[in-house]
Amino acid sequence: MRIRILISTALILSVILSCPISGKATSKPYPYMINPFLTNVDVLLDVGHGGIDSGTLHGDVYEKDINLEMGKITYSLLREKGLRVLLNRMDDYALSSENLWFRNRSRHLKDLAQRSHLANEIRPKIVISLHVNWATNTRARGPVVLHQKSDSSKQLATSLQRSLNHLYTTETAPVYGKTYFLLKHIQVPAVIVEMGFISNEQDREQMMQPQKQRQLAEAISVGILAYLKKEPAH
């Protein structure tokens, strides 16, 4: 059943992503947007990078693959908790290739514009963008959560950072991601979760070893659930 849910979600998203829309993303939603499955989403998991865009890397270990695996595990855990969850990438492909409306030669900007527009069309309660960090200093380690200017985004980041710090035994504070495209353009509470440093051996193990991947996904889920429980009803 879970596999069928994932496949149907991918098909729904592929319909939205392939529709030409205005560059300013101001066109009215298409009729299928009133589907309750799309208009009552609790969490949109933004799976960073994909396809030609590997993200950061260490040898033959690519960020895009870690993001996808962690997205799928987190999706399953949140579904088990009864949340309505969507993934915006189900396989190894670039969202920029599906963007037919953003008139810019930059593949990177087309990718980010596609992700933010999708979030703004679906309007979930929250958006969690999954990524992996890198540093020249291989001792740099631990999760970092970046947030928007809004109080709600900061509260979400604080909840996630607290849960992730507990897993990693770190004391990192969430960071205001002022210059990040997604955080500037997504119109609902959103955060970027840098799940660890691919350049650090301990973090790589946390993000790649199956049992530890589940621990990481559980920490992310705990942070999400703690925030949603405090969120006022609309």
Residue 101's pLDDT band, with cuts at 50, 70 and 90, is low
pLDDT > 70 fraction of the chain, expressed in percent and rounded: 79
Supply the mean pLDDT for the chain.
86
Average pLDDT over residues 217-231: 96
CA distances (Å), 141 to each of 65, 121, 122, 215, 220, in order?
19, 35, 34, 17, 17
| pLDDT of 47 | 98
Render 99-150 in DSSP notation, one character per residue. Answer: --S---S-HHHHHHHHHHHHHHHH--SEEEEEEEE--SSTT--S-EEEE-SS
Give CA–CA dist 41/202, Å, rounded: 34
Residue 102 scores a pLDDT above 80: no
| pLDDT of 8 | 38
Topology of the domain comprising 43-230: Aminopeptidase (3.40.630)
130-172 per-position pLDDT tens digit: 999 999 999 999 999 999 999 999 999 999 999 999 999 999 9
Q: Is 45 helix (H, G, I), strand (E, B) or coil?
A: strand
Residue 16 scores a pLDDT above 50: no
34-81 per-position pLDDT tens digit: 355 577 999 999 999 999 999 999 999 999 999 999 999 999 999 999
194 beta partners: 131, 144
- Residue of 23 and 148 predicted with greater confidence: 148
